[in-house]
Amino acid sequence: MIRNDFKIAWRNLLKRKVYSSINIIGLAVGVATSILIFLVVHYEMNYDNFNSRKDRICRVVTTYANKSNGEITGRESAIPIPLPDAVRLEFPQIEKVAAVWNLGGAQIHIPIPGKDLSEENKVKVSEGLFFVEPSLFSIFDYTWLAGNESGLQEPNTVVVNQSLANEFFGNWKKAVGQTVQMWSFRVPLKVVGVFKDLPANTDLEIRMGASYATHRKMSA
């Protein structure tokens, strides 16, 4: 019975080729569009959902207001530098606080052992470069491939994701213990950890996290 139904349907398709083609193409476009919309919505709705403590994480932002009339003139995900220490002091009920300073990008110099500076490797990290406090890595979920964030207590240390470690050293397994230099004035940063790349749909896509102690040292 089903076999006969398929034969009849196939014959009808062949008899009305233009009409059938229009309907089939329309159906295919409709299905493809629906799948695409679903994927986009699913991607956007799952930002940072990989974090197991997402319902307990808050970002502190700055709101700018006009002093004369109180009108809100802008907001940004940035805060005064002393605020993290003040929060720790004044709000002991907050379990953990992590200061983050977005550097955007920078030129990274990778010295080659036994070679002079003229033969060093240079990599332009265009985004995902931050100064971070080690507590950040216990607030968010990171998978460590080598080392960990504990070394970030010290200045001139850094952690990198797997992709950058491969780009810098050819293999992420060789990264820990190596030293890179940042910017033209060559701030030395010793690699103390390598973590697995974060999903693309995260609001804080850290690829390279230099210790916040380095930032404090440079600002002193």
Domain ranges for the chain, please list them: 2-45, 80-219
pLDDT at 160: 98
pLDDT at 117: 65
Q: Which residues of the chain have pLDDT under 50?
A: none
Give CA–CA dist 40/150, Å, rounded: 37
Give CA–CA dist 220/213, Å, rounded: 10
Which pTM was predicted? 0.84
Cα 141 from chain centre: 12
Q: What angle do CA 136, 140, 142 make, to 5 degrees?
A: 100
Cα 73 to Cα 41, 52, 61, 62, 69: the distances in Å are 30, 34, 14, 11, 11
pLDDT at 219: 84
